[in-house]
Structure 1
Amino acid sequence: MLNADEVTVVIVPFPSHGHLNPLLHFSLLLSTRYGLTVHFASTASHNRQAKLRLQGWPLSSLSSIHFHDLPLPPIPSPPPNPQSPNSFPTHLQPLFDATDHLRSPLSSLLLSLSASSRRLIVIHDRHMSLGFDAATTPNAESYAFCGTSAAFHFEAAQLMKQGTGLEELASPEFIRFIERRRRDGFTSSGFIINTCREVESEFLDILALREDFLGKPIFAIGPLNPVPIHNNTDINRDECLEWLDGHPPCSVVYVSFGTMSTISDEQTEQLASGLRRSGHRFLWVLRDADRADIFAFESSSRRLPAGFEKAVEGVGKVVRGWVPQLDILAHRATGGFMSHCGWNSCMEAVSCGVPVMAWPMHSDQPTNARLLAEGLKVGVVVRGWDRRREVVAAERVEEVVRMVMEGEEGRSMREKAVEMGEAVRAALKDGGSAKEAMDVLVAHWRR
């Protein structure tokens, strides 16, 4: 076998947590388990963000990766608007557009590494533009990383072909941004997707026949998130895990809408009322969506109904900052997950065997919610996409929580979630579909 140092891998993430997170996991897999030399190139603040929010790996593992801080000019960092009729995070568009400024320093880095490597492998998020043509560099290959579900790639392609429908999922500015970025994908040597055949076999087969993917290999290597050990007893555990320790198995509803979603004040009030009325234990992460300048605004001051936290003390806990979601989902006390259904959250819930109360808000989330609820039967949709502009009443929140946490229907969901979790975890082991795809990919780079 060739020396791994002869192959250099450069990871180019999109600067938002949902994109940074899986590619950092991927980088650690390549560096620690396959012995490859891995470089991670993003802005200084987003490199820092990725490191501080690392889950499932010891912090010491970060030393196996070479981080490169790419310069970015000052950009606006407006707050999210929780009252906006469109829940898409339009406040981050200045950051997205500013990634064009990364093309030149990134190209210089890639050229430098290409000159000192036998083979240079560039893995770039599909939302990133490289400013570097691997096709004209004899020892370089580029691969597009797809951080959303295969089901969404299929659905988005259908909508683009029809010329309608995407405007309901994202802002016009972001749709135009994505259209520009699609061109880089056409020059890639293949596609890497954070999914596996156990979850999306049908859609992976369909993608292989589509124009964007035709003739290029698709490597389904997910879930990229580590699968945590239940009841991790690490001395540096987060306080919310200590709180979960005091509750019975499968008794707590975990509520979190991710790092790019903010619900309205009216919706917050209805959700609070519904959780309280359900009578079930809950751990609720109530925070604003990330801003471009993430570390200036890490926590939230969102208001709850007067006296709410005191009234639910011991039964419910509200957290206003970032939490270690993987460890929460893996905890024995967690029995259900009320989620926006970002793809990372979906894969984490599935790999931990936790049923999902799906509350999609934008982008790929409606597709993911349907996949979990209708395809895999491991969840229920809280609010149909056709009613996305409506406030979900407390009565519906109570109904869904009771449905998942009680009775025959909830028991069936939990059983299916546990079975799916076992299948997905098996996919990551020797002989599993995801592990085999990863082995084939790395062997191809080392040829």
Structure 2
Amino acid sequence: MVMVPFVAHGHLNQLVHLSRLISTYKIPVHFVTTTTHIRQVRSRFQDFSSHSAASNLIHFHEFRTPPFTSPQPNPSNRFPAHLQPAIDSSLHLRRPVTELIRSLSSTTKRVVVVHDSLMLYVVQNVKSIPNAVTYIFDPVSAFDTFWGAWERRSRPFPVDPGMLKRLPSSDGCFSPEFIDFVNLQIIAQDGSHVGELFDSSRVIEGEYLEYLEREQINGKKKFWAIGPLINHVDVDKSTFKVSNNRHKCLQWLDMLSQL
């Protein structure tokens, strides 16, 4: 398997956790991103050291991007626009990622590529590799994915008007430059992927996954809820206790993190 995350930690970390989960089934995983982000992953997750068991099944491939200059963060902006140069630099991964997948395809029967929904531009040439298939990984909720696709398609069918009224406006959430980057990904989406994976659960978001499946908002593809993807921690469950002082939602998340 080949993992192609987007170059932002909220996105990248989810595919790190998925890589670790897949590696427990003795399936080799090739994790592909920039040199900078590979270094940060290694510093954050100590079990990826050269002496760990995971290092035998999870292989990191780091690719350099052209130098860029990031402006200072502007706290008055809702969107971290200072990251845009780093985001744009990810477009240069298209060629090396394609070459890596092509090389892997020559030594194995099937290559499965799981890529962030914001890396469609980078993986668009994979469809030319006969024994490679791609799956889109949606790091955001099925709720968000549905509403975004529903709006892009000019609201093709009626939905709960009460929910529609409660949705906050997305105006000002994203910079014009980031919207251009997203549109580039949409243009690159040609429908050749097998389906979409969500870091979600049908218990939580079944309604919106069913919307996506029934109405085929994102094309006639399959959808899988494979989450929540969380960092596995080995603990003695008999001694684990949840503080009653925390909100019940946080207590629930505390319990999930120990499963």
TM-score, normalised by the number of residues in structure 2 = 0.81
Deviation per CA, 1:279-312: give whole Å up to 9, x if none: xxxxxxxxxxxxxxxxxxxxxxxxxxxxxxxxxx
For the pair shown, the structure with the greater C-alpha radius of gyration is 1
Give how far 1:68 is off. 0.4
Give how far 1:78 is off. 2.2
Contact 1:28 1:61 (C-alpha < 8 Å) held by counterparts? no
Q: Classify the secondary structure of the residue corresponding to 1:41.
A: strand
Structure 1 unaligned regions, length at least 5: 1-8, 233-247, 252-334, 337-352, 356-416, 429-447
Deviation per CA, 1:231-262: give whole Å up to 9, x if none: 99xxxxxxxxxxxxxxx9344xxxxxxxxxxx
Answer yes or no: is 1:125 the counterpart of 2:116: yes
Match of 2:185 in 1: 181
Match of 1:96 in 2: 87
Q: Classify the secondary structure of the residue corresponding to 1:176.
A: helix
Match of 1:249 in 2: 243
Q: Classify the secondary structure of the residue corresponding to 1:81.
A: coil
User: Pairwise mapping of residues 32-111 of structure 1 onto structure 2 (< 5 A)?
Assistant: 33-54=24-45, 60-63=52-55, 64-82=57-75, 84=76, 86-111=77-102
Match of 1:215 in 2: 220
Answer yes or no: is 1:134 the counterpart of 2:134: no
Give how far 1:187 is off. 2.3
1:213 is matched by which residue type in structure 2? Answer: N
Q: Classify the secondary structure of the residue corresponding to 2:59.
A: strand
Contact 2:30 2:61 (C-alpha < 8 Å) held by counterparts? yes
Give how far 1:99 is off. 1.1
User: Pairwise mapping of residues 29-428 of structure 1 onto structure 2 (< 5 A)?
Assistant: 29-31=21-23, 33-54=24-45, 60-63=52-55, 64-82=57-75, 84=76, 86-128=77-119, 129-162=121-154, 166-185=170-189, 186-228=191-233, 249-251=243-245, 335-336=246-247, 354-355=249-250, 418=252
1:202 is matched by which residue type in structure 2? Answer: E
Q: Classify the secondary structure of the residue corresponding to 1:222.
A: coil
Between 1:178-187 and 1:14-23, the stretch displaced more is: 178-187
Output the CA distance in 2 between the equivalents of 1:58 and 1:39.
13
Fraction of identical pairs, as percent: 37
Q: Classify the secondary structure of the residue corresponding to 1:24.
A: helix
Output the CA distance in 1 between the equivalents of 2:257 and 2:69.
41
Give how far 1:159 is off. 3.3
Contact 1:51 1:62 (C-alpha < 8 Å) held by counterparts? no
2:10 is matched by which residue type in structure 1? Answer: G
Give how far 1:211 is off. 4.1
Taking a change above 3 Å as real, the CA distance of residues 189 and 13 of structure 1, as seen in their structure-2 partners, is same
Output the CA distance in 1 between the equivalents of 2:194 and 2:125.
12
Taking a change above 3 Å as real, the CA distance of residues 58 and 153 of structure 1, as seen in their structure-2 partners, is same
Contact 1:71 1:105 (C-alpha < 8 Å) held by counterparts? no
Give how far 1:166 is off. 4.4
Match of 1:317 in 2: none
1:146 is matched by which residue type in structure 2? Answer: D
Match of 1:444 in 2: none
Output the CA distance in 1 between the equivalents of 2:150 and 2:193.
21
Structure 2 unaligned regions, length at least 5: 156-168
TM-score, normalised by the number of residues in structure 1 = 0.49
Match of 1:27 in 2: 19
Give how far 1:39 is off. 0.3
Compute the RMSD of aligned alpha carbons. 2.8
Output the CA distance in 1 between the equivalents of 2:114 and 2:257.
24
Output the CA distance in 2 between the equivalents of 1:198 and 1:100.
36
Give how far 1:229 is off. 5.7
Contact 1:166 1:175 (C-alpha < 8 Å) held by counterparts? no
User: Pairwise mapping of residues 424-435 of structure 1 onto structure 2 (< 5 A)?
Assistant: none
Taking a change above 3 Å as real, the CA distance of residues 207 and 118 of structure 1, as seen in their structure-2 partners, is same
Deviation per CA, 1:176-214: give whole Å up to 9, x if none: 211110234432111111001121111111111344434
2:192 is matched by which residue type in structure 1? Answer: T
Output the CA distance in 1 between the equivalents of 2:236 and 2:174.
38
Output the CA distance in 2 between the equivalents of 1:191 and 1:125.
10
Give how far 1:225 is off. 0.8
Taking a change above 3 Å as real, the CA distance of residues 159 and 61 of structure 1, as seen in their structure-2 partners, is farther
Give how far 1:173 is off. 1.4
Contact 1:10 1:41 (C-alpha < 8 Å) held by counterparts? yes
Aligned residue pairs total 237
1:26 is matched by which residue type in structure 2? Answer: L
1:219 is matched by which residue type in structure 2? Answer: W
